[in-house]
Each structure stands twice: as C-alpha cells, then as structure tokens.
Structure 1
C-alpha cells in the first residue's frame, strides 16, 4: 500500500496544482440552456461540485418529446460510469480483506477464460485496468445480438492475444463484467443488492439502481434517443437490454444528484465509505492509453494530456495548469454520461443526457476551464462550430 501511495503522490505532484478560481454559474446556465436547444438534444442534467459541495444541479429539456421536463431527480442510464461503481465496490471489498487485487482470475469461480489460459496469470487488478490482452470490446456485438454474457466470456479464450497481459490497454465490457460474478460469490448477494447495500445506500444515493426494470419504474426517467439516419434529429428508441446483462460494465442508473454524490465520494468526501487508501488504489494509473490520447487530441486539441487508465477510471494531465484530473465517460444506445474532477480541489462536473449528441462532452472542459480561471472556449461547439468528434 505504501508503494502505491508513493506512486500516486508522485504522479499528482509532477507540477504545482492550479488554484481554484470559481465557476461562473450564470454563464454556465446560459451555455447549458443554449446547448439544450440544439437539434440533436432531448434532455440533459448537469451538476457541479465546487470545494466539495454540490453547488449546481439542474435539468434541461424533456424526458421525452411531449413529456415532462428533466429535473435533478430524473433518472438516466450511467452507461460506462458503471465501471467506476464496480471497481469501487470490488476495491472496497478487497480493502476489507475479502480477497486481494493481486489474486489471479483463476482463483475466482468466474466464467472468464483468456487466450492460452491467461486467466491463470491475469489478476483482478489487470481486469479492472483492462490489461487482459484481448482485442478491445471483445465480442460486444455478440452481447448486443442477445448471447449470454457467461458463454461469451468462456469463448474469449479462443481469441488471439493482442498483447501480453499487463503490457497494453484494451477496453472491455463482457470480460470486465466478470467482476459481477466475483462480487456475488464473495458477498452472497446479487450484484444489484451488493451495490445497493455497500455503496448506494451508505452514500445516500436515493435513485441509484441497476437493471432495466429499475430504470423504467423510476418516478421520472429519461427515454433513449438516437440520431435519425442522415440527420442530427433524434428519434426515440426502446430501452435496450444487452448492456444491463453486464451490470458491472454498464448496468447502473441514477439521477444527476446521485452521480454528484458518487463524484464527491471519489474525491474523498465520504471517507467512512470509500477510505483514502481505497481511493489511492482506485485512482493510481496503471497503463498509458494512446487511443484515448489520440481521440482527445482530435476533439479537444491539447487540453487533456498524458491519458492513463487506473481501475475503472481515466486519469489525465490538464494542460496549462498541470493539474491531474480523474473521470470517465459512458455511452449506450440513447444515453451518454460523463464525470471529471480535480481531487486536490474537490471540484468537478457530472452530466447525463438521453441522446447520441456529442456536443455535451465539451461540458467537462468548459466547467474545468472556469474552475482553473482559463479563458472561455466553445468546447460544446454551440457558437457556430461543428459538433466535434465521437464520444
């Protein structure tokens, strides 16, 4: 643990951190109002945490055409932000002595098989950092076509390796969800119940849940929309089931207030639930992610650099300021999500929206630029620019 803490301390101390400058909430509200009126938008919810407090939480647009407005209690899918929930849950269990993150995957009774018997070498930590050596998003299409996730995990062993275990980052969904099997075996609970009892309830996340039925039974929930072919105009879809069947990878729902509460916990503001040592383990970078860095360069110029992956979280250097920021983004059909925060300043932003629009990805930079006192920039591409690169 001492070694991991030293690594993280050095990683976050490469340059002196910037001083928080304060967020212009009037400007932010104006920008988000303008964004919500774009043709590719339906509903949007955004919250800001500044100095450890939730200082802004608002909804924009509607839950569906002809239906009610999005509020700060409206429930959305969190998509791949679910991975941070899973790794927080697993790391918390590890810190309690249930198992070790250095245990090999073969020491657990999961359905996951890796090429050449790699499950006997790869560790739980490797899985959470996407370093298991199979092609990115392996067999996601099979999942989307209705195949059983456990059967898909068994078939992963027939693939060729793209790199030796621990030597490259290859993002996974079906393989990653072996975490849900480990949680269930360790706790004797369903994954949904474990998440509720160990994280959601203690963090007072009143709308957070897993599963399709839980989303659709919420008092206010946003319906999914995707772009019509050949146009940015969105069309309503049904809520798709496949990624709910890999709950550790993409199965969580919740409101923007609950997502903000979860962000505060990641900042260390719920130390009785996620201890400082737990967060050190979660946020220590394990691997450089060149594909993510290339995507960021194309979309955000040089604003975020040195892209690395920790355990269910991405870690970046925020250009100019030198600060390190932590976050993740998510996307499933009809929904998008994001979180980005500076753990030294206890300041960050979360956003949820129910369309395939790309513009809202720029929210995270516009808010963090304000926090660091940087000049305004149209990262959301709503002042006459293009919509930007894919999420």
Structure 2
C-alpha cells in the first residue's frame, strides 16, 4: 500500500473509531472536587497564579482565579485576567481561515503560492505543491521548531515577511507529508495567507472574524495598552523558593510576528466562551461557522506519536493533529484539545464533545508538570473518576518513572559556573559580523574585557563568550532569554563558518541553534 493510501485509510479509521460514540459517565465533576484539585496543585508546585474553568453539558459550572498576576503584588488573578494562551492561538488562526473558506475567499486545497507568490520552501517541488491545509498540520518536513528563533524571544525585529522569506533556507528534516514534527513558522505563513485572502491584516481579521462575532471582548491580539487591558498576568520563573516575574510587559504591549502561532491573549471568561462555541453552539455561533467547516477543523490529518504515559494513564489508541486541534481517545471518550507553552506561561483547553463538556486552565509560572498533572486530574473527573490517581498520585508519577521502568538516560551537562571569560585576543580569527541566511546578522566583537555575541534582529539575544571543557560557550546576559549554546568555528579566510548547538541537547526545540549556519561577512568595525 502506498503512503497516500495508507494515510487515507488511517484518517478514515480514526473518523470511524467506535470509541468516538462511547457512553460517558452520567454525573459531572463536583465544584468541591475541582477546587480541591486546583488548590492542591498550587500547593504542590508553588504556582504564582492560575485560572481554571469547567463546562458540563454546555454550561459553565466552575470558573475561578487563584493567586496573583505578579507574585507578591497583591493583584489577584480573576476570571477576567489576561493570560498568554500561546499555541492555543493556533485553533483561532485555523478558525479565521475556516471563516474565509466558508465565505468563498479561499479553499483548503489552494496552493499557498496562489495567495503568497513570494512563498518558497527549500525544495521547489514542495513550494509548488504545499496547500493552505498543509500549513496547519505539522507534516511539512521542517525540523521540529525550525526557525523559531525568528519568533522568540519576543519582541524582536523579525517581520512576517522575513519569516516567509527565510523558510526557503531551512533544510527539511524529513519528507514532505511523510511524518510529524511540530512547527510554528507555517502558522505565521497561514496568518499571511488569511491576510491576503481576507484583505486585512491578520490582527484585524482575528478581531473582525472571531473576537467580535463570538463576543470575546477581553482577548487581545496586536498592540495594546497595558493599563487599558485591566488585569494582565505576567510570566514567572522559579528561583529557589521564590516565583520571580520575568519578561514583564511594558506600558505598551507591541504587536508580534508570532501572533498566528502563539501570540493571542485571553481571559478565562473568554476561553470558556470560546470552548462553549465548540461544545454547545447556539444559532448565532452556528451561523458564524457552519457544520461543514466545523467538521473540517476536527478531521484527523497527521498521526502523532503516542507516549507511554498517555497509553498508561488514558489507554489512548489514537492521537492525531487536525487544524489547530489535537484529537485523541481517553478512557474510551473522544477528546479535542491543545496546549500552550510560552516562557513562564502554560495553558490547556480540553474538550469532550460527545458530552458537551470540557475545561480550560492557564498558569503564569513554571507550570509544565502542573499543567500535565492537573489536566489529567480534571479529565479523569469526566472520563474515569474511579481510575484517578489524584493530585499526589499523578504528581509523584511525573516526578519518577513507573515501577519496573528505568529512568530515561539524561546527558551529563557541564557546570556552567566553571566557565572562564575569553579575551578578544584569543578569538582574533573569529571576531566580526556573521550571517545566517534566515536568522540574519550577528556581531561577535570585543566588549569590555571579553567578547560579546549580539543578534541584530533579535535584540534580547546577547551574551558573553566563555571557555568551558575545551569549547566556546555562549552564556546569555539574561538567562531567561534562551538556553546557553556551544559555538563551533571552522575554516579560514572567506570560508570561515560558525555553527551552534544547545548546551542541553534535550532543551526546548524552539532554541533551534542547530539549524543555523553562519559565514563571516565582515569585520567588527
């Protein structure tokens, strides 16, 4: 069987899966159980703030904020507090495109170049054949997180046109439509396709086609004034026993190129209204997006790997990406979900369409494990309360491998504190301006008694070069900016090259240094 036929058979099988119509437990979660789980989560992980809402049979039965927008400020998180929803923005971008398809302004199978003639991937054949649909389903061949350094840390000077133009220089990691690797850049391209087809900027389209008709009055996209937005949660990192606010907003929050992939902010009230539109749409919401396009958004498109943990906890048999949503079975129930992760902000929206129920949670701290654990506890309240391990059980399971299983091998990382500054005289052969075709120019030049690495288009990315274990290490001036990186030089004269790699090879894939390939193009002067 060829790949196309195999993929079509899998999609059909997922759509017809018998568990999609499985009977759900008759009773929903009690507010007291929800509150107890959230409080225990906050205590276990020492979260600065969290907002949690639950929908049962189409009605909001629980909505509450806990903690503070900024640790120690006394400013409480409420149901109106804005959070960065990060990659939960993807479903909103896909929905804007669905609106344009419904209006006849574009088709899912339109070639991208029909709307963006300047669009190009590394392979010309892929350029010609990539469709609007392909932009949304993470099977393009791009490496995981490829090009994310053009998006984060934010804000930066990369435009969406820069991103569209840079794609052609990012080498594929696998064949087009031959696998799954999560990417963000193509959602930015999708936003540009929407703008071209819709005759307005991405931000204006989101407000016009989504926020206004669905009454998501608190959501923000693009530039906005912090004071006028009301309560706004700030991201935090954990330092010892303290939550420290980081990457705090200024008086004016700027528009960011990454918005279609992960740049929208919403309150819990807004996210519950958004979730309700999918679970129990009223007549106006059905007119906003009809059954045909709702079905298109929730068709399984790209199979995703199923983790051992997901199999163990939920008995999951299938897991697939749709248009901005993830589809899976859990305890025999059909789920539609997504998560969001963005430097000190974590979110989750989990829907159980067959029982018109679901939940939303948003955290403004180091909340990776907290999100996974609380998400599982809340899911089990709907699908299999008798199987739940509870907050302590799931938290303990995340902290250690299951009985009989070996802990995954972790690379031994060098002690960054042992690094030694490198004088400019030692790096004379490597000083100058270096250029990567998609990331642009960086300057590696003397600064004080050492050498500084500084990006021209990502101003927050600057740090000092040090020596560690016989290699050059780039240590960021603000460690919250990114993961430290190795610098590897080669060649001589006009053939000098600079490659980079994460100090921690298992670090966040958005620190995609390995895709960079710098050549020296000039001196420091």
Q: Contact 1:35–1:382 at 8 Å: present in 2 too?
A: no
* Native 8 Å contact 1:381 1:388 kept in 2: no
Matched, 1:18 2:23: yes
Partner of 2:347: 337
1:266-286 Cα deviation digits (max 9, x unpaired)? 225131222221111001111
Counterparts of 1:285 and 1:11 in 2: how far apart (Å)? 11
Equivalent position of 1:41 in the other structure:
47
SS of the residue 2:39 aligns to: helix
Measured against aligned partners, the alpha-carbon deviations of 1:40-93 in whole angstroms (never above 9, x if no partner) come to: 301100111110111111101111122311111111111000000000110121
Provide Cα deviations, 1:86-134, integer angstroms capped at 9, x if missing partner. Answer: 0011012112211100011111126542121222111111111122111
Q: Take 1:170 and 1:379, find their aligned partners in 2: how far apart are those partners?
A: 32
What pairs with 1:129-140 in structure 2 (closer than 5 Å)? 129-140=137-148
Contact 1:309 1:315 in 2 (8 A): yes
Q: 2:132 aligns with which of 89, 100, 124?
A: 124
Change in CA separation of 1:307 and 1:159 when aligned onto 2, cut-off 3 Å: same
What corresponds to 1:200 in structure 2? 211
Contact 2:373–2:394 (Cα < 8 Å) also in 1: no
Larger relative contact order (CA 8 Å, sep ≥ 6): 1
Alignment size in residue pairs: 380
Pair member with larger Rg: 2
Instruction: Provide the residue aligned with 1:280 in structure 2.
Output: 295
Flag the 1:253–1:12 CA change in 2: closer, same or farther, 3 A: farther
CA shift at 1:263, angstroms?
A: 0.9
**Map 1:290-301 → 2, pairs under 5 A:** 290=305, 293-294=306-307, 297-298=308-309, 301=312
| 1:139, distance to aligned residue in structure 2 (A) | 1.3
Gaps of 5+ in 2: 1-7, 401-506, 509-525
2:273 — aligned with what? 261
TM-score by length of 2: 0.67
1:237 is aligned to 246
> 1:215/1:191 Cα in 2 relative to 1: closer, same or farther (>3 Å)?
farther
Instruction: Identify if the C-alpha distance between structure 1 residues 9 and 268 changes in structure 2 by more than 3 Å, giving closer, same or farther.
Output: farther
Aligned to 1:101: 108
Give deviations 1:277-322, integer Å, cap 9, x for gaps: 11110011111111xx22xx34773416221100111001113xx2
1:134-213 correspondence runs (5 A): 134-144=142-152, 146=156, 148=158, 149-211=160-222, 213=224
CA distance in 1, matches of 2:20, 2:136: 28
Cα distance in structure 1, aligned partners of 2:13 and 2:219: 30
Q: Which moved more, 1:206-215 or 1:171-180?
A: 206-215
Q: Is the 8 A contact 2:15 2:300 kept in 1?
A: no
Whole-Å separation in 2 of the counterparts to 1:212 and 1:362: 34
Match of 2:337 among 318, 327, 330: 327
* Backbone CA RMSD of aligned residues: 2.8
CA contact (8 A) 1:47 1:57 kept: yes
Structure 1 length-normalised TM: 0.88
Please give the alpha-carbon distance, in whole angstroms, between the structure 1 residues aligned to 2:29 and 2:351. 13
Deviation at 1:28, TM superposition (A): 1.0
What CA distance in whole angstroms lies between the structure 1 residues aligned with 2:301 and 2:346?
25
SS in 1 for 2:358: strand
Provide the residue aligned with 1:313 in structure 2.
325
Deviation at 1:175, TM superposition (A): 2.4
Aligned to 1:349: 359
Instruction: State the secondary structure of the residue aligned to 1:271.
Output: helix
CA–CA distance in structure 1, aligned partners of residues 119 and 241 of structure 2: 39
Q: Is 158-167 or 42-51 further displaced after alignment?
A: 158-167
Pairing 1:82–2:89 present: yes
Q: Structure 1 residues 242, 25: CA separation in 2 closer, same or farther (over 3 Å shift)?
A: same
Q: Which stretch shifts more, 187-196 or 40-49?
A: 187-196
SS in 1 for 2:295: helix
How far apart, in 1, do the equivalents of 2:335 and 2:394 lie?
Answer: 26
Among candidates 261, 266, 272, match of residue 249 of structure 1: 261
* Cα separation, partners in 2 of 1:15 and 1:337, compared to 1, 3 Å: closer
Alignment check: 8 A CA contact 2:86 2:264 kept: yes
> CA separation of 1:111/1:33 partners in 2, compared to 1, >3 Å: closer, same or farther?
farther
User: SS of the counterpart of 1:165?
Assistant: coil
Output the CA distance in 2 between the equivalents of 1:268 and 1:107.
36
Alignment of 1:359-370 (within 5 A): 359-370=370-381
Query: 2:371, 2:347 → 1: CA distance?
Result: 9
Shift in alpha-carbon separation, 1:318–1:110, aligned structure 2, 3 A: farther
Deviations 1:202-257 (A, max 9, x none): 111110111363566411111110223xx464311124789932111011111011
Residues 1:361 and 1:300: Cα distance change in structure 2 (over 3 Å): farther
